[in-house]
Structures are given as C-alpha cells and as structure tokens.
Amino acid sequence: MAVPSITLPALECPDVLLPTPANLVNLFGGLATMSYRYPEELQDLKDKLEQIREDILDIYDPKWEKISIPEKEWDIMMTRLAAEYPMYVQKKILELINSLIPIEFNVTILGITINIIDFLTDPSSIRDSLELEEIDSIYDLIPDEYKVWDKFETADFKKETVINYIRSEIAKKMNLLLTGGFTDLIGEFQSIWDALGLPSIPVLEDFDLEALIRDKTTEELESISIFGYSLNDLLGGEFDNNVDIDGFNKERLLKRAREFKEEWRTYLIKKWMEKVTAFFDAIGLDALTQWITFTFCDFLKIIGFPSTIDLPPSIQTAIASTNSLTVAESSS
C-alpha cells in the first residue's frame, strides 16, 4: 500500500521559558497516525515511537485500560511533557530552599495524600494507584466547572481528568511554597537582605478561574483571556485532530487554563529571582540561579528526549511558526 505524503512540524528543541504544546502534539500525533495506519510500510517508525514511549515517556503515558487511541495517547503525553517542565523547575528550586528552610511537601488533594517531591519524581505513581472502579467517586469531587464527561463516558477519560486536576493543584501548592519559602529565607537572613536593598517578592495576582470558564462552550473557551493570552495562544495554535472525540478539546482547554494560571505565577517568581541573585550568592544558595534561565530545551535534554528522528520520504517536516509565548518586557 502506498503511503501518502504529509507535512508535519519539525522536531525542535525550544529554548524558551513558556512552551506551548501544539507543535509537539501535531508532530507526534501525526507520526502515530501514519505508523498505525501503515504498520507494515512504516514499521521502523512505529518501533521508534514505541521505544520513545517506553524509555522516556512512560511516566506521562495515560495507559488507558478500556480503550486504545494512539493519536490521543500521544496527544496526552506531549501536552503533559510541556506541562511537566515548569513543575520540574518549581521542584528543583523548592529542594534547594528546603536545604536551609524545612518545607512540608505532603498535601491532600481529592482526599488523596500526596508527597509533592515523590509525585514529581514519578508522576505515574498516582496514575497507577487510581482504580477505574473507584474513579467516579473521585471524579465527583472535582469542581463542576472542570467536568466534561458524563456518567456514560469511559472511566479512562475521567481518570485522565482527575490526574490533570491533581497536577494543577500541585503546581498551585508549589507556588505557595515558593512564596513562603523565599519569605522565610529572607526572614532567616534579614540583615543580609536589608543591606542589599533588593525588591520584595511579588504578590501573585489571583482571580476566580472557575467563574471565568463557567458555562462556556468549547468555542468560547478558546478566546477567553488569562493574563492577556487567549487559551488558543496558550496551546500554541490549532491541533490536527486526526481522531475527533467529543469533550476532548474542551478538556484540553480547561487543563491548559489551570496550568497557565500557575505557570505564569512561576514565571513572575523567576523574574523576581533574576533581580535578587546577590542575595542567593550571599547566603550560599547561588545554585538557585541556574533554574532562572533553565529552558524547555534544557529539560528535554535532561530527560533524554530525542533531538532527531529518522523519517521515511513520505513524511516531510517544516519549522513551526511558534512553539512558545512571546512575553513583552512590560509584562515581566
């Protein structure tokens, strides 16, 4: 069978602080679609994707139990990969603060006790601990504004929503821990801080996200603004939905809204950190500064994500027009 020619986004290593997932999703979703539709002709490509999935992306893999939709599974892995990067940075900064100021990392979300560090070391731990037979009772605890699936939908989709909600709540908690941790550090070394005359840690802007998204259709959600960005911008543009599932696009938008609310806060904390590096140097925490400029590309290299993939002649790639948000200096 002849394999049709297609053009997909090129595999890039975005050297950015605020990545968007659309290009990664469209690339790997497109590769998954082609390799599963033409398994004999594209066996080498299929094997390579399975190797990446098993060796690098296993902790982000939804591992659905009742359904199998490779294109959507790759969609989830790529969006989760992009969302993992800012949480990885949060974790690294908190671990350094914890070396001087003790931090309590245990939290309870949806009735589940979670150690933040353990969860971010192995995000699959929560996935593997949630039983499908019990997922309805946990799903019911999520605020109604974030619920997409009704009682007749597959439990795998509901489990995915539960995991996404837990991740966003952990990101929120880590931002609170960052603010509290830096405040405690300043208090512990008050005389050094006062002598340096540095700017105070910013008060993180808050808003009622649930009220903003309430009763919105998928089309309405795409255009709502969060810190000056539409949700469509925050995703990086349009997605090539090779498999269309009712509710999936809305779930993606709601997930991105929760994520970016915390990613923006983390970004503002890092911009403040840029201005107070003299303080970190003075108290022996100069190692913090490496995480201020640590980019998505740095993260991909650390986890061993491939920089190239050998593609068959039928698949062409083109440099994507965008893979990150552009932030005006005034916004910093």
Are 323 and 20 spatial neighbours (Cβ–Cβ below 8 Å)? yes
The predicted structure's pLDDT at residue 247:
87
The predicted structure's pLDDT at residue 181:
96
Instruction: Provide mean pLDDT across the span 230-245.
Output: 87
The predicted structure's pLDDT at residue 329:
38
Q: Which two tokens stand for residue 64?
A: 């659905």
Does the pLDDT at position 278 exceed 90?
Answer: yes
* Closest listed residue to residue 167, CA positions, set 290, 255, 232, 95: 255
* Closest listed residue to residue 149, CA positions, set 67, 235, 71: 67
Q: CB-based contacts of 195: which residues, under 8 Å, 6+ apart?
A: none
pLDDT tens for each residue of 143-200: 999 999 886 568 999 999 999 999 999 999 999 999 999 999 999 999 999 999 999 9
Instruction: Provide mean pLDDT across the span 5-9.
Output: 82
Does the pLDDT at position 12 exceed 60?
Answer: yes
Instruction: Provide mean pLDDT across the span 265-276.
Output: 95
Are 56 and 300 spatial neighbours (Cβ–Cβ below 8 Å)? no
Strands (E), the chain: 6-9, 106-109, 112-115, 225-226, 229-230, 315-318
Instruction: Provide mean pLDDT across the span 202-213.
Output: 87
DSSP β-bridge partners for residue 108: 113
Instruction: Provide mean pLDDT across the span 278-292.
Output: 96
Q: What percent of the chain has pLDDT over 70?
A: 94
Strands (E), 110-237: 112-115, 225-226, 229-230
pLDDT tens for each residue of 21-72: 999 999 999 999 888 888 888 898 999 999 999 999 999 999 999 999 999 9
This prediction's pTM? 0.91
The predicted structure's pLDDT at residue 318:
67
* Burial state string for 246-285 with b = 16 or more CB within 10 A and e = fewer than 16: eebbbbbbbbbbbbbbbbbbbbbbbebbeebeebbeeeeb
Whole-number Cα distances in Å, 81 to 24, 90, 186:
9, 15, 33
| Averaged pLDDT score across all residues of the chain | 90
Dihedral sign computed on CA atoms, order 118, 87, 306, 257 = positive
Q: Which two tokens stand for residue 52?
A: 């990446």
